[in-house]
Copies of this chain bind each other. A is one copy, B any other.
Amino acid sequence: MSKVTLEWCREQDAEDPLRDLRNRFDLPEDLIYMDGNSLGPLPKGVAERVANTINTEWRTDLIKSWNTADWIKLPSKIGAKIAPLIGASAHEVISADSTSVNLFKVAAAACKINPDRFEILSEPGNFPSDLYMMQGLTKFLGGNYKLKTANRTGIIDAITEKTAVVVLTQVHYVTADMLDMVAITKAAHDKGALIVWDLCHSVGAVPLDLNGANADFAVGCGYKYLNGGPGAPAFLFVADRHLEAVEQPLTGWMGHKAPFDFVDAYTPNDSIKRMLVGTPSVLAASAFDTALDAFSGVNMADIRHKSLGLTKLFIDLVQQELSDYSFKNATPTDSNRRGSHVSLMHNNGYAIMQALIDHKVIGDFRAPNYMRFGFTPLYLGYEDVYRAVETLAEIMETEVWQDPKYSERGSVT
């Protein structure tokens, strides 16, 4: 491999068809932000949209805005904007609640469809909330229900005639290892199981084709690569073939066929609205709705091409510049298996990451020893990646990370 130079990176940026998309974001000038996989930055227009929601819709028009500002339609409108990013039709996607709550709803719904099977299959080391929610669900369903886990490398072999539903995160939140959605969905169906895909670390970063893969259900996060704001509403997908009969336990009034008839008996809405529960936050939904416009006209194939270019560049530069410092790459070098972030393992990872953040390169840390770096093609360029590794090399060389202040833990780390 020839040495990667700053000039080469600049050439890549000059040729990048997505380079102007950075203008769709309001990023601090001096930061290299590599944590869009945890919290996407502020898209332009969001502050104005929320100010208008507060000052005109809420302040002036008050309760009327449920109709006049179409507040009631926000969950569907957001769903329709997400649909093309995940290979779904607009009527199969809706925004609601948190990812965890949505996971409970769709996994419970899948169990209802497969009533003679009692096993939910996932993987150890899945994003913890996914496992926790499935632990809560199986306990709550009682009887013979149980959560079984198998390593992702052997997940297909672990699907059996006992499996009711397979619940997997497509891109792993630490390693960025990407599962084969088509093959695993087919394997599940071959055994009569259903599948739920958690797209938290995929949506907006890698091309997705839920209907092409014949997926049953999916959930995903609004605040990572979709840039919907801190704690943005989540979304869920129900394949068209399940929409008519799907049942979920959180039967709130927003899921009713006629919520404003105020009748005592629950009748589910005919559409995906039956997956809604309570009244959604209009401030959060308004922010998310405008944030999604950052994807307007963007081709996900271009995103993927650049994402792989950025992550490969980072992996190569770490090898080239940091070979003295015992970093170990935890992320697949095979581009077919790599999502849009890279994790480096280092025993002093926490302190090194805090020093790096202090030097204006923002990544994050995941216990026990992972330094995560997210690469969002919408606003990061090749030179940014070069500068980030350069900064990391300086921090290692100067040993500035050994300053005790970088070992102090915050409540969220």
Contacts and interface: CB of A to CB of B under 8 A. Distances in A.
Interface of A: 26, 28, 31, 33, 35, 38-39, 41-42, 46-47, 50-51, 53-55, 57-60, 62-67, 71-73, 97-101, 104, 108, 124-126, 128-129, 131-133, 135-137, 139-143, 149, 223, 229-234, 248-256, 259-266, 277-285, 287, 357, 362, 364, 366-367, 410-413
A69 to B, nearest CB: 9
Contacts of A249: 104, 136-137, 139-140
A382 to B, nearest CB: 21
Closest 9 CB pairs of A and B: A98-B278, A136-B251, A100-B252, A100-B278, A67-B410, A230-B282, A129-B253, A140-B249, A281-B284
Given A230-B71, A230-B281, A412 B66 contact: yes
A42 B108 CA distance: 38
B128 A72 contact: no
Given A128-B256, A133-B252, A54 B46 contact: yes
For A65, A124, A128, which residue has the most chain B Cβ atoms within 10 angstroms?
A: A128
A109 to B, nearest CB: 10
Given A28-B59, A285-B231, A253 B128 contact: yes
A262 B62 contact: no
11 contacts: A38-B63, A41-B59, A66-B411, A128-B263, A132-B251, A132-B255, A133-B252, A137-B249, A229-B282, A231-B279, A231-B283
A411 B72 contact: yes
Nearest to A54: B47
Contact of A281 (B101, B104, B231): B231
Contacts of A35: 62-63
Given A284-B284, A357-B64, A266 B131 contact: yes
A291 to B, nearest CB: 11
A223 B317 CA distance: 51
Contact of A233 (B38, B234, B261, B281): B281
Contacts of A128: 253, 256, 259, 262-264, 266
A95 B288 CA distance: 21
Contacts of A256: 128, 132
Contacts of A413: 260
A59 B26 contact: yes
For A260, A277, A283, A284, which residue has the most chain B Cβ atoms within 10 angstroms?
A: A283
A251 B33 CA distance: 31
Nearest to A143: B142
A41 B62 contact: yes
Nearest to A123: B264
Contacts of A263: 128
Contacts of A47: 51, 54-55, 59
B277 A65 contact: no
Given A100-B253, A265-B135, A54 B50 contact: yes
